[in-house]
Amino acid sequence: MKKIDITKYSDKELSLLVFNTEELYKHVELFCDVIKAEDGGNESGLRKNVLKNFSEALSAYKSTAAQWKVLREDILQHYREEWHVA
């Protein structure tokens, strides 16, 4: 399977792709749900599976470390805003 190369685009490209593609965005929401449950003391054991599925969904794209860093920060910001975490 040939990967879609997004390395020539800005550091924000991977994040834009994730937050503007319904299928990928669903992974963000699932991950945030798991983190919130674990923060509340409910260890579900789902984190590994959720991250694995998210990683597999993103494996279709060739991206840079900088693009991953922006995605990580955007997911953290989304989590803070969605669940009102300081």
What is the per-residue pLDDT across 15-40, written as a single tens digit (0 to 9) for each? 999 999 999 999 999 988 888 777 66
Q: pTM of the prediction?
A: 0.83
- Residues 36-63 pLDDT 10s: 777 666 666 677 788 889 999 999 999 9
Distance CA 81, CA 86 (A): 9
